[in-house]
């Protein structure tokens, strides 16, 4: 079992670590409030927050009718023009859906759930580039949210029938006699078991079980086609029966490798490092004990001493989404205007609803290159000076009249939640002593600290 965190180790730094990893960070005041709750209550407050669906109504997007165009009596030129119009519409609606989700992540009173939805988005990776219908991806996003902290078995069954996933992995043409083995392979390898924990026979037989899965062209919902389904006997993982898709998902999820595969991915997402084999055996045991309920499992992680180990603190590179939202929270400023949000995430390499492939984003060091690091530094300057929207209150961040030593401590806590390294502190002290009185100079100093490798870590 994971050992609990001793009461005397629940410090402000531990509270900051929890808020950064379980959610998207916060201001010094938010960290202090979380710490004051006590460890167990702080974790519960993040994982069991009240619903706020009414505050974030989803964009009103209708299913695209691209496939139905083939039945319309149009000339080729008219058809091409209609497709062009629909592509523009799809692009604009996808932008709208992205901004809706980003604002929700940044403003919700339930940020831990949105952080978990972000994890599952990278896990059940589907892209607008292939799906070509923002309605389907927005629908999938709501499914991820509904199941984010729930039991994995019903979640996996729901995702096997998810219209965006069906289109992304070409399941909509799978039928008796011609099963889509690629879908079955990806479902086991990337979503549930990991590579090598199945045979080619398992793949073939599972593919037969998923035949007949379709998308309702009128509603964009799931549709089962009995005439295209292979209802014959199948043999999967050594068990025989006339398994359908749900029964097959049940067989897959009951495999011991499922808990091991998922626990390692969840730990890596929140901690920033793959667990050792012995640790992952402990994690998988905890996940199984929870009934594969992700919310219960991450609660056990956040209550554990291991999660707060110094070797994990401030060692995780912020993803572009994390960087943007956490930076705005650090500065206590609103999110920038929609154009800047879109361009920033596009250039930094994490465009929501468009992961690079079915494996999702690599994360970790893949987030950083010489060009993306420079872009982060430049964006930090724009945010601290107010470009793209209102400027943060520099008097709140670094009050006038604060001594250079006090200023260093204030900035280190707000921006890093850790002491500055000696070289950085010396440089910052020098700048504060030389020219730390004007608001412009103080903004420059804040920008300097945000343009360091340390600020890229959480």
Q: Are 30 and 19 in contact (CB under 8 A)?
A: yes
Domain check: are 284 and 369 in the same one?
Answer: no
| 378 and 429 belong to one structural domain | yes
361 domain-assigned: yes
Residue 8 has pLDDT above 70, yes or no: yes
- Give residues with Cβ within 8 angstroms of 392, minimum separation 6: 331, 332, 333, 383, 384, 386
| 450 and 326 in a common domain | yes
Same domain, 429 and 348: yes
Q: Which residue has the higher pLDDT, 228 or 72?
A: 228
Residue 339 inside a domain? The answer is: yes
Question: What span, in angstroms and rounded, lies between the C-alpha atoms of 323 and 329?
Answer: 10
pLDDT for 151 beyond 60: yes
Helix, strand, coil content of the chain in percent (nearest 5): 65, 5, 35
* Averaged pLDDT for residues 368-392: 91
Q: Are residues 299 and 365 in the same domain?
A: no
Beta strands in 234-389 (DSSP E): 234-236, 239-241
What pLDDT was estimated at residue 69? 54
Please check whether residue 159 is in contact with residue 191, taking contact to mean a CB–CB distance below 8 angstroms. Answer: yes
Residues 241-251: pLDDT tens digits? 999 999 999 99
CB 259 within 8 A of CB 288: yes
User: Does some domain include residue 159?
Assistant: no
Virtual CA dihedral for 77, 80, 81, 83, nearest 10 degrees?
Answer: 160
Q: DSSP for 377-392, please give it.
A: HHHHHHHHHTTTSPPP
Q: What is the pLDDT of residue 297?
A: 98
pTM over 0.85: yes
**Does 125 reside within a domain?**
no
Is 382 a domain residue?
A: yes
pLDDT at 67: 47
DSSP letter for 208, please. H
* Number of domain units in the chain: 2
pLDDT of residue 408 exceeding 50: yes
Longest dimension (CA), the chain: 80
**Can you give the three-state secondary structure of 342-355, one letter per residue?**
HHHHHHHCCCCCCC
pLDDT for 80: 82
Question: Containing domain of residue 293, as a range?
Answer: 7-49+256-308
Sign of CA dihedral 301, 302, 305, 307: positive
- Quote the pLDDT of residue 78: 80
Of 247, 273, 308, which residue sits at a domain end? 308
pLDDT the model gives residue 73:
72
Residues sharing a CB contact under 8 Å with residue 432, sequence separation 6 or more, in sequence order: 404, 407, 408, 445
pLDDT at 388: 58
8 Å CB contact between 205 and 152: no
pLDDT 10s digits, 89-119: 999 999 999 999 999 999 999 999 999 999 9
| CA 458/CA 455 separation, integer angstroms | 8
333: left (phi over 0), alpha (psi -120 to 50) or beta: beta
Q: What confidence score (pLDDT) does residue 68 get?
A: 54
pLDDT at residue 43, rounded to an integer: 98
| Cα distance between residue 116 and residue 148, in whole Å | 6
Do 273 and 347 belong together in one domain?
A: no
Give percent of the chain above pLDDT 90.
88
d(CA 35, CA 28): 11
Is the residue at 21 inside a domain? yes
Q: Is the pLDDT of residue 162 over 50?
A: yes
Res 50 pLDDT > 90: no
How long is the chain? Answer: 458
> Are residue 274 and residue 392 in the same domain, yes or no?
no
- 329/449 same-domain check: yes
Give a yes or no: residue 174 inside a domain: no
Buried b (16+ CB within 10 A) or exposed e, 380-405: bbebbbeebbeebebeebbeeebebe
Range in 27-31, 145-149, 385-389 with the lowest mean pLDDT? 385-389
Is position 179 within any domain? no
Do 285 and 368 lie in one domain? The reply is no
Does 51 or 198 have the greater pLDDT score? 198
C-alpha separations of 146 from 50, 81, 141, 156 in Å: 14, 38, 9, 12
Residue closest to 67 by CA, chosen among 113, 17, 132: 132
My answer on whether 358 and 440 are in the same domain is yes
Residue 444 to residue 436: CA distance in whole angstroms: 9
Question: Does residue 447 share a domain with residue 329?
Answer: yes
Mean pLDDT of 313-328: 98
Task: Name the phi and psi angles at 94, rounded to 5.
Answer: -65, -40
Q: What percent of the chain has pLDDT over 70?
A: 97
**Whole-number average pLDDT of the chain:** 95
Based on the domain organization, do 341 and 418 belong to the same domain? yes
Q: How confident is the model at residue 416 (pLDDT cuts 50, 70, 90)?
A: very high
At residue 313, what are phi and psi to the nearest 5 degrees? -75, 135
Mark which of 308, 329, 344 sits at the end of a domain: 308
**Calpha distance 451→52 (Å, rounded):** 35
């Amino acid at each position: 079992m994971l050992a609990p965190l001793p009461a005397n180790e629940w410090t402000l730094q531990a509270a900051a670590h929890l808020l950064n990893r379980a959610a998207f960070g916060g201001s010094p005041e938010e960290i202090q409030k979380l710490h004051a709750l006590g460890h167990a209550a702080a974790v519960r407050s993040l994982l069991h927050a009240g619903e706020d669906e009414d505050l974030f109504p989803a964009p009103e997007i209708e299913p695209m009718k691209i496939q139905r165009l083939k039945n319309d009596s149009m000339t080729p030129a008219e058809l091409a023009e209609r497709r062009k119009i629909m592509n523009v519409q799809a692009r604009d609606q996808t932008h709208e859906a992205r901004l809706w989700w980003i604002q929700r992540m940044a403003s919700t009173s339930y940020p831990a759930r949105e952080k978990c939805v972000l994890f599952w988005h990278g896990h059940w990776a589907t892209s607008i580039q292939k799906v070509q219908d923002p309605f389907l991806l927005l629908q999938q996003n709501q499914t991820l949210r509904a199941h984010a902290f729930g039991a994995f078995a019903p979640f996996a069954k729901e995702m096997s029938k998810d219209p965006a996933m069906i289109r992304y992995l070409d399941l909509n043409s799978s039928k008796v006699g011609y099963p889509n083995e690629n879908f079955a392979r990806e479902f086991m390898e990337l979503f549930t078991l990991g590579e090598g924990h199945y045979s080619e026979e398992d793949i073939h037989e599972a593919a037969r079980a998923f035949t007949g899965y379709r998308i309702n062209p009128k509603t964009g919902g799931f549709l089962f086609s009995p005439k295209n389904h292979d209802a014959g006997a199948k043999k999967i993982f050594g068990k025989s029966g006339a398994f359908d898709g749900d029964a097959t998902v049940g067989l897959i999820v009951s495999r011991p490798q499922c808990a091991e595969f998922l626990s390692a991915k969840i730990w890596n997402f929140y901690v920033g490092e793959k667990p050792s084999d012995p640790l992952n055996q402990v994690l998988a045991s905890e996940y199984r004990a929870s009934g594969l309920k992700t919310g219960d499992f991450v609660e056990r992680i956040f209550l554990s001493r291991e999660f707060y180990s110094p070797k994990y603190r401030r060692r995780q590179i912020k993803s572009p989404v994390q960087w943007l939202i956490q930076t705005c929270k650090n500065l206590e400023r609103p999110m920038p205007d929609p154009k800047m949000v879109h361009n920033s995430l596009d250039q930094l390499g994490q465009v929501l609803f468009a992961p690079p492939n079915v494996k999702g984003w690599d994360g970790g060091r893949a987030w950083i290159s010489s060009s993306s690091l420079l872009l982060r530094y430049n964006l930090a300057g724009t945010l601290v000076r107010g470009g793209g929207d209102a400027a943060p209150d520099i008097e709140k961040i670094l009050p006038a009249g604060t001594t250079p030593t006090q200023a260093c401590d204030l900035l280190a806590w707000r921006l890093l939640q850790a002491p500055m390294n000696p070289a950085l502190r010396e440089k910052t002290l020098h700048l504060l002593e030389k020219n730390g009185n004007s608001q412009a100079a103080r903004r420059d100093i804040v920008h300097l600290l945000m343009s360091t490798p340390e600020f890229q870590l959480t």
